[in-house]
Structure 1
Amino acid sequence: MTDVLQKSSKDDQPAPRRAGDKVLDAAETLFYAQGIRAVGVEEIVNVAGVGKPSLYRAFGSKEELIVAVLQRQEAGFWRRLEESVAACPNDPRAQLIHFFRGTAERSRLGGYRGCAHSNAAVEYPEEGLVRGEALGFKTRQRERFTQMARDMGAADPQGLADELLLLLEGVYVARQIHGPSGPAQRVGHAAETLIAARLGG
């Protein structure tokens, strides 16, 4: 009985975090707060508490690490969108309005610097791995919004999707310029007004 209890206690212990996970966490925080090009590998490993070999074993290069960070950020975006979908079943119009209202709320958070992919695309104007990852996400985002606009019966689904994406990109920039109480807070209302105009009421 004692052996069973000892084994259970040992099994219940949390597994030690992998060095790669520590590097990814540190890079995500640093890139978002300071910008990607401003952060060097040395700073990342120092914050992660690991050596450089651990970073290169897990990711191969700084560019591959950036891509991994962007993929994690993309997963977060889809998770938030799906939460809005689940909150408003079978109503794509309400789903998008819910999502934009949530975006306004997120923009009030301290340290909010908009979209990691938009920031990366600005920092990496040249073709390459990082820009390709950022633009790939933006393409998938545009396709999803277009499908949702189509599902709500918009006469021009692509046009409505593009206008909604302009609102979203505007939030990312406006929050960084005007702060948490600036124009970004009106994006939920703006999205609702835009959709109503496009759908005729």
Structure 2
Amino acid sequence: MSEHTAPQAPLTPAARRILETASRLFYARGLHAVGVDTIAAEAGVTKKTLYDRFGSKEALEVAYLRARDARWEELLGRTLEQHPVAGVDRVLAFFDAVEEWSASAGGRGCAAINARAEVDDPGHPVAVEVARQKSWVRGLLESECRGAGLARPGELADALVLLYDGALAGSGTGVPGDPFPTARRAARALCEAHRA
């Protein structure tokens, strides 16, 4: 886990079951469609245990998003390690990683985008967590663009994060049929256009 996420205390076995169950259900059905009664029953715990471990449903929703983000970050880190030299290939590795992520942990698009679509208040803990995650990805893309010597790295990162999120959203709808290769090709063209 990198600096952008706060360290968490180790989870008890019951808390792990709750989080795993909630994660599966939230991603499959959505935050609002899944109640704490369902999560507790499927995790084999009482509602009291759920609240003792997480405090509130909102806190459990944020824990779900952070747990997915931590797994995504690990995969991205491994992918970036395969491209140790700064350059366009390292920037494009984001698109390789997100395609692999979607194949193994996706199917319904981006969990963060899906969760954010369910809350109206930008101050809601879920909205705050999603903004943090998306800002981190955008900032890392800008850093990689700068490291690659690409012109106007902030502007380029803005465009790349839209392609990245668009591919994730498209993967949940099936349109286009191959969102990640399409986004990667567009990202390469943008990077080439920004060569200093």
Task: Indicate whether the TM-score tops 0.5.
Answer: yes
- C-alpha contact 1:106 1:112 (8 A) present in aligned 2: no
Q: Work out whether residues 99 and 180 of structure 2, in 8 Å CA contact, stay in contact via their aligned partners in 1.
A: yes
The alpha carbon displacement at 1:140 in A equals 1.6
Larger Rg: 1
Q: Show the 5 A alignment for 1:1-201.
A: 18-108=13-103, 112-126=107-121, 127-178=123-174, 181-199=177-195
Partner Cα distance (2:105, 2:57) in 1:
27
Task: With the length of structure 2 as denominator, give the TM-score of the two structures.
Answer: 0.85
* Counterparts in 2 of 1:92 and 1:57: CA distance versus 1, 3 Å: farther
Post-superposition offset of 1:158: 0.7
TM-superposed deviation, 1:180: 8.4
Contact kept, 8 Å, 1:109 with 1:180, in 2: the verdict is: no
Q: CA deviation at 1:98?
A: 2.2
Q: Please give the TM-score of this superposition, normalised by the length of structure 1.
A: 0.83
CA RMSD in angstroms comes to 2.0
Say if 1:192 and 1:82 are closer, same or farther in 2 by CA, change over 3 A: same
Distance 1:123 1:195, change over 3 A: same
Which amino acid in structure 1 is aligned with residue 46 of structure 2?
A: G
- Which of the two has greater helix per residue? 1
Q: 1:105 to 1:75 in 2, by over 3 A?
A: closer
CA–CA separation in structure 1 for the residues paired with 2:43 and 2:175: 30
- Cα separation, partners in 2 of 1:153 and 1:140, compared to 1, 3 Å: same
Structure 1 unmatched runs, 5+: 1-16
Counterpart for residue 3 of structure 1: none
Give the AA of the match of 2:40: V
Deviation at 1:192, TM superposition (A): 1.8
Give the partner amino acid of 2:128: G
How many residue pairs align between the two structures?
184
Mind listing any 5+ residue stretches in structure 2 that lack a counterpart? 1-11
Distance in 1 separating the partners of 2:87 and 2:54: 38
Provide the rounded CA distance (Å) in 1 between the counterparts of 2:179 and 2:134: 23
Deviations 1:139-191 (A, max 9, x none): 12211111111111122111111111000111122112226834344222222
Runs of 4+ residues over 3 Å off in structure 1: 105-111, 179-185
